[in-house]
Amino acid sequence: MFWADRIAEEIIKSGKYKPYWVDDMKTPSGYAHIGSLLGPVIHSCLYRALKKADTAPIFTFVINDFDPADDLLPELKGKYEQYLGMPLKIAPSPDPNFESMADLFGGDFIRSIQSLGLALDNSEKIQDIYQKVSGSQKKEKGWLPFQVICEKCQKLGTTRVFAWDGEKVSYKCEPALVKWAQGCGHEGKMSPFGGTGKLPWKVDWPAHWKVLGVTIEGAGKDHC
């Protein structure tokens, strides 16, 4: 039996995961390569196996353009460092035919697939889950699972949110928060709604499942 048919059979027999919503996600940080297709191919095979079994599955693929630019292609190094830390949807495209890095690299990835046919009020609880899963004993006081886009330098990867009053978050754009980008030091306060920031990926992922209703998605060991 083909592996996807076997997994689909196990899913159906379990009586769980209904409706059958298969999902995958990609950070558009560079051009597509052969390894980039692993996730789409695996999830597409599983979707097709479920469809063949007459279960009416749904298959979605998300381009996470809110992730920050945390590395550069070799040809961009020495030219684009000032954009490290910005969301990929804001960081400008090196190709003038595209508005942003997300548009350029996300579009490239989508075309590759097509060619083949293919929470702030509970921050303490979330941090406890992080520790339980990772085995870490470290717990940062005042940690909040959210990053905003700095109002001054437009970077996301360098901001640290340290307070939440139920309406707005307080943040600082830290100069040395990460090694791959430098924050500007600005401190501010803003609403976390309306596209001003994002959840860290370990929280964004389950939130994504909850909002869309995703029930089936694979992951590498480094993401579990």
**pLDDT for the residue numbered 156:** 92
**pLDDT for the residue numbered 158:** 94
Per-residue pLDDT of the chain (224 residues; tens, 9 = 90+): 789 899 999 999 999 888 999 999 899 999 888 788 888 888 988 998 999 999 999 998 889 999 999 999 999 999 999 999 999 999 999 999 999 999 999 998 888 877 666 655 555 665 666 566 556 555 566 678 889 999 999 999 999 998 888 788 999 999 999 999 999 999 999 998 888 888 887 778 777 787 778 887 887 766 55
CB 169 within 8 A of CB 163: yes
**pLDDT for the residue numbered 41:** 86
Cβ partners under 8 Å of residue 98, min gap 6: 104, 107
How far apart, in whole angstroms, are the C-alpha atoms of residue 41 and residue 79?
A: 34
Cβ partners under 8 Å of residue 193, min gap 6: none
- Domain coordinates in residue numbering, the chain: 3-118+202-223, 121-198
CATH class of 3-118+202-223: alpha beta
- For strand 21-26 and strand 58-63, is the pairing parallel, antiparallel, or unpaired? parallel
Q: Does pTM top 0.75 for this prediction?
A: no
DSSP state of 99: S
